A = this chain, B = another copy of it.
Amino acid sequence: MSQATITATINGVNVDRMGEMIQAVQQNPNLGTFQFRAKNRWMMGAHNCSTIQSFSAAGEEYTTRKTPFVLDSDEPPVLLGTDQGANPYEFVLHALAAGLTTSLVYHAAARGIHLESVESELEGDLDVQGFLGLSEKVRRGYKEIRVHFAIKSDAPEEQLNELMRFSPVLDIVSNPVPVSIKIDKL
């Protein structure tokens, strides 16, 4: 009897490979260790540019990306920039939207939950008194971020919400991450 190979894909995620990945990391937790990277160069004023290419998993380098992703950041004129890219705080909102969506899509796939559409709108409140150093009482970052999803799926709202909670970016934004800064003078 010949063996048919059927690839099970839910929400565009290969659930067979996801199951294999979960099993592999369960058996050897070291396989779960990733290091992600970015290189950034200041151009002028508020304009700077990141290139993102290599990363490692379990100590192994992944060089599958032949060209880097290039990301420009700038500020709008009202914040003294030239608007050649989204600003750093807008990139945080994009990272959070992308992270919550990916978490929902993957964890739904693992549970056999089909999604038809997922859209979100995010708002973040920032008071530049903090950035300008005008008040010690005003925090420098977002005071609050509100995320509003519109989702087509048969699954109940509570479950969709739970599946998003696995998001690494939600953890990064909601909880403290240690950041070390080293400066070499050239």
Is the Cβ of B83 less than 8 Å from the Cβ of A89? Answer: no
- C-alpha spacing A70/B92, complex, angstroms: 14
Query: Which of A71, A139, A148 has most chain B Cβ within 10 Å?
Result: A71
Is the Cβ of B42 less than 8 Å from the Cβ of A89? Answer: no
Is the Cβ of B169 less than 8 Å from the Cβ of A92? Answer: yes
Q: Give the size range of A's interface with the partner.
A: 35 or more
Interface of A is mostly: mixed
A residues 160-180 touching B (CB-CB < 8 Å): 160-161, 164, 166-180
- A10 to B: closest C-beta gap in Å: 10
- C-alpha spacing A175/B24, complex, angstroms: 33
The listed residue (B57, B94, B145, B149) touching A91 by CB distance below 8 A is: B94
The listed residue (B62, B86, B121, B174) touching A176 by CB distance below 8 A is: B174
Is the Cβ of A71 less than 8 Å from the Cβ of B87? Answer: no
The listed residue (B47, B76, B131, B167) touching A168 by CB distance below 8 A is: B131
The listed residue (B55, B105, B168) touching A140 by CB distance below 8 A is: B168
- A115 to B: closest C-beta gap in Å: 7
Inter-chain contacts of A78 with B (CB < 8 A): 57, 62, 64
Is the Cβ of A40 less than 8 Å from the Cβ of B94? Answer: yes
A residues 105-158 touching B (CB-CB < 8 Å): 105-107, 115, 117-135, 138-153, 157
10 A-B pairs, CB-CB below 8 angstroms?
A33-B125, A36-B93, A38-B121, A39-B122, A42-B101, A42-B118, A50-B93, A55-B90, A75-B102, A174-B176
